[in-house]
Amino acid sequence: MRRRIIFSAFLALIASHCMAQQVNVNREIKTIEQQVGVMLKIVDTISAGPKGNLVEPRTLVNGKLKMVNSNDWTSGFFPGLLWYLYDYTGNSSYKGLAQKFNKRIEKEQFSKNTHDLGFMIYCSFGNGYRLTNDTAYRSILVQAAKSLSTRFNPMVGAIRSWDHHADAWQYPVIIDNMMNLELLFEATKLTGDSSYFKIAVQHANTTLKNHFRPDHSSYHVVDYNPANGKVNLKVTAQGYSNESAWARGQAWGLYGYTLCYRFTRNPVYLAQAEAIAKFILTNPNQTADLVPYWDYNAPNISDAPRDASAAAITASALYELGTYSKAGHYRQYADKILSSLTKNYRSPIGENAGFILLHSTGHLPAKSEIDVPINYADYYYLEALLRSKRMK
């Protein structure tokens, strides 16, 4: 008990130093609008490709805007960002733009070969439905939940993540998949069909059982035997090593269990979210500005790339977690992260093809998207800004 009190006092002391860190959300949204305007002009000049399938902006490659297919796991973030701008400003032009970019990925509601339908469909059509009550969007959300549900194996108790690299694993489940449960929970709210809710809960419970180490850090991938549900192996494919703590993976887990508590009010999920938050916020390799290195165990860590996307996801999750937890410090930490991102990780206006945040890391072991802007970093940064404003 004494150690617990000392630790709480330590957190409170650190949080007190963060309280002065505030972002002027109104001013920041205006700069984001300018950046989005830059990006939209560039998007209009880019060819959709011979098949017309390059539909959404994702990142920069050699300084040039990279567009991706509708089936890319990141395809829902740009329309989602436009919906957030409409949400905040009430400017109907953003509504029209969001509808336009939604349309480009609408067919993915029927995709059964990806676990990322939550990212793709909920961030786009979920926000659209929340703001418009468009019954067509409701139908798309439900169909996407049906498609995602086909990837659930009751023997494993989890939704399959990847279909690739069959030589490496049988039934891989990644920590990122926690984020896609929001679509399933919402589908039960929309339809009254509890099957979606039950799948989401089973997936969350299986992940809780097998993905986490004693210190509440997470493996990236757990591979199962689909015939009996036994664990084959645990690895960290996008991190430094199998036993390392990949920064964005920790952020996905924090956000995922926070949203699970939102829908279920299961105190086990709240406790898990708080435990992950403790790992992130008190990690000895955490940075002074709370924008982490790409992996908490990276070699030569002081020279390692940062991951602004992990910070943005963490900030957004902490704002929500702070509304559920009796602990009073999560809001202050989120404010500190937002302040750091705004002061030191923002693109100069008019540059970087209109992306908002710099210095994210996508997949360093694959030498992919290292120290670049990425659309999901922008999406969660704007979401965190909006959550910050509403709490104030």
Active site (catalytic) residues? 116, 176
């850090």: which residue's tokens?
Answer: 217
* 86 vs 248: CA distance, rounded Å: 27
* 320 vs 372: CA distance, rounded Å: 27
């798309």: which residue's tokens?
Answer: 140
* 245 vs 242: CA distance, rounded Å: 8
Upper half-sphere CA count for residue 90 (Cβ side, 13 Å): 0
SS3 166: coil
* 340 vs 291: CA distance, rounded Å: 7
Contacts of 5 (CB under 8 A, 6+ apart): none
* 254 vs 257: CA distance, rounded Å: 6
Cα angle, residue 76 at apex, residues 387 and 350 outer, rounded to 5°: 75
Residue of 149, 186, 158 lying closest to 263 (CA atoms): 186
203, 152 contact by CB (below 8 A):
yes
141, 121 contact by CB (below 8 A):
yes
